[in-house]
Amino acid sequence: MSALLEVTGVTKRFAGVTAVDTVDLSVGQGEIVGLIGPNGSGKSTMVNLVTGDLMADEGTIRFRGEDITAVPAWKRARLGMARSFQMIRLFRSLTVSDNLLLAKHAGMETTLGDSLLGRAAAREEEERLRVRARELLAWFELDAFADRPVGALSIGQQRMVELARGVIADPTLFVLDEPAAGLSPPNVDRLIVLIRRMRDEFGMAILLVEHDMRVVRDLCERLVVLDSGLKLAEGAPEAVTSDPRVVEAYIGTGWKRHARG
Amino acid sequence: MKAGLSLIIAAVFIAAPFLTGGYELQVLMVALLYVTLTTGLNLVSGYAGQFSFAQGAFYGIGGYTTAIMGRDLGTGFWINLPAGIVVTGLFGLLLGIPALRLKGHFLAIVTIAFQTIVYLGLIQWSGFTGGQNGILVPPIGEVSLFGATLVDITGLTAHYWLTLVFAVVAVWIAWRLVHSRLGREWVAVKDDETLAGAVGLDTTRAKLTAFVASAAFAGAAGVLNAHVMRGVTPDDFTIWISCTIVAMMVVGGRGTFLGPIIGAILLTILPELTGSFAQYKLFLFGVLLVVIIIALPEGLVGRWRKIREARA
Ligand SMILES: Nc1ncnc2c1ncn2[C@@H]1O[C@H](COP(=O)(O)OP(=O)(O)OP(=O)(O)O)[C@@H](O)[C@H]1O
Ligand SMILES: [Mg+2]
Q: Which of B120-134, B161-175, B278-292 has the lowest mean pLDDT?
A: B278-292
So what's the pLDDT on residue B257? 94
Q: What is the rounded average pLDDT of the residues B221-233?
A: 95
Calpha distance A19→A226 (Å, rounded)? 10
Q: What share of chain A is helix, strand, coil (3-state, %, to 5)?
A: 45, 25, 35
Option in B181, B200, B202 nearest A169 (CB): B200
Instruction: Give A1-80+171-261's CATH code, choosing from 3.40.630.20, 3.40.50.960, 3.40.50.300, 3.40.50.620.
Output: 3.40.50.300
Q: How far is B190 from chain A (nearest CA, A)?
A: 9
Q: Are A82 and A163 spatial neighbours (Cβ–Cβ below 8 Å)?
A: no
So what's the pLDDT on residue A256? 45
| φ, ψ of residue B26 in degrees (nearest 5) | -60, -45
So what's the pLDDT on residue B191? 96
Judged against a pLDDT cut of 80, whether residue B151 lies above it is answered with no
Q: How far is B234 from chain A (nearest CA, A)?
A: 35
Distance from the alpha carbon of residue A55 to the mean position of ligand 1, in angstroms? 14
Of the candidates B59, B50, B43, B39, the one whose C-alpha atom is nearest the C-alpha of residue B265 is B39
Q: What is the rounded average pLDDT of the residues A108-114?
A: 90
With vertex at residue A225, the alpha carbon angle to CA A220 and CA A227, rounded to the nearest 5 degrees, is: 155
3-class DSSP state of B281: helix
Calpha distance A229→B231 (Å, rounded)? 66
Judged against a pLDDT cut of 80, whether residue A93 lies above it is answered with yes
**Mean predicted lDDT score pLDDT of chain A:** 92
Calpha distance B165→B183 (Å, rounded)? 23
On chain B, the residues whose CB falls within 8 A of the CB of A103 are: 199-200
Q: Are B69 and B130 spatial neighbours (Cβ–Cβ below 8 Å)?
A: no
Calpha distance A25→A10 (Å, rounded)? 9
Kindly give the number of the ligand 1 atom that is closest to the alpha carbon of A15: 4
Q: Taking the CA atoms of chain A, what radius of gyration do you get in angstroms?
A: 19
Q: A189 Cβ partners below 8 Å, 6+ apart?
A: none
Q: Are strands A222-227 and A32-36 parallel, antiparallel or unpaired?
A: parallel
Length of chain A: 261
Calpha distance B263→B272 (Å, rounded)? 15
Kindly give the number of the ligand 1 atom that is closest to the alpha carbon of A209: 22
Closest ligand to residue A37's CA: 1
Q: Are B135 and B236 spatial neighbours (Cβ–Cβ below 8 Å)?
A: no
What tens digit of pLDDT does each residue of B234-293 get? 999 999 999 999 999 999 999 999 999 999 999 999 888 876 666 777 777 788 878 887
So what's the pLDDT on residue B153? 78
pTM of the shown model: 0.92
Question: Is ligand 1 within 6 A of the CB of residue A86?
Answer: yes
Chain B interface disruption, residue of A112, A124, A175, most B CBs within 10 A: A112
Q: Indicate the domain borders of chain B.
A: 2-237
What tens digit of pLDDT does each residue of A7-24 get? 999 999 999 899 999 999
Q: Indicate the domain borders of chain A.
A: 1-80+171-261, 91-166
N-to-C CA span, chain A: 37
Per-residue pLDDT band for A251 (boundaries 50, 70, 90) equals low
Q: Are B13 and B25 spatial neighbours (Cβ–Cβ below 8 Å)?
A: no
So what's the pLDDT on residue A101? 96
So what's the pLDDT on residue B105? 85
Per-residue pLDDT band for B303 (boundaries 50, 70, 90) equals confident
Interface of A with B (CB under 8 A): 51, 53, 72-75, 77-78, 82-83, 85, 89-94, 98, 101-103, 105-108, 112, 115-116, 118, 122, 126, 149, 165, 169
Amino acid of residue B151: V
Q: Are B21 and B28 spatial neighbours (Cβ–Cβ below 8 Å)?
A: no
Distances (CA, A) of B179 to A131, B185, B270: 18, 10, 31
Task: Quote the ipTM score.
Answer: 0.92
Of the candidates B255, B283, B233, the one whose C-alpha atom is nearest the C-alpha of residue B59 is B233
Judged against a pLDDT cut of 80, whether residue B133 lies above it is answered with yes
Q: What is the rounded average pLDDT of the residues A66-84?
A: 97
Percent of chain A at pLDDT > 70 equals 95
So what's the pLDDT on residue B72? 94
Calpha distance B247→B264 (Å, rounded)? 9
Per-residue pLDDT band for A261 (boundaries 50, 70, 90) equals very low
Q: Are A51 and B195 spatial neighbours (Cβ–Cβ below 8 Å)?
A: no
Distance from the alpha carbon of residue A43 to the mean position of ligand 2, in angstroms? 5
DSSP A218-232: HH-SEEEEEETTEEE
Helix (H) or strand (E) holding A213: helix A213-219
Per-residue pLDDT band for A257 (boundaries 50, 70, 90) equals very low
Helix (H) or strand (E) holding A61: strand A58-63
Q: What residues sit around ligand 2, an ion, with C-beta below 5 angstroms?
A: A 43-44, 86
Chain A interface disruption, residue of B195, B203, B311, most A CBs within 10 A: B195
Q: What is the rounded average pLDDT of the residues A92-113?
A: 94
What tens digit of pLDDT does each residue of B13-29 get? 898 888 887 888 999 99
What tens digit of pLDDT does each residue of B50-96 get? 989 999 999 999 999 999 999 999 999 999 999 999 999 999 999 99
- Please give the residue that has the higher pLDDT: either B302 or A215: A215
Q: Which of A182-186, A239-243, B88-92, B209-213 has the lowest mean pLDDT?
A: A239-243
Distance from the alpha carbon of residue B13 to the mean position of ligand 1, in angstroms? 58
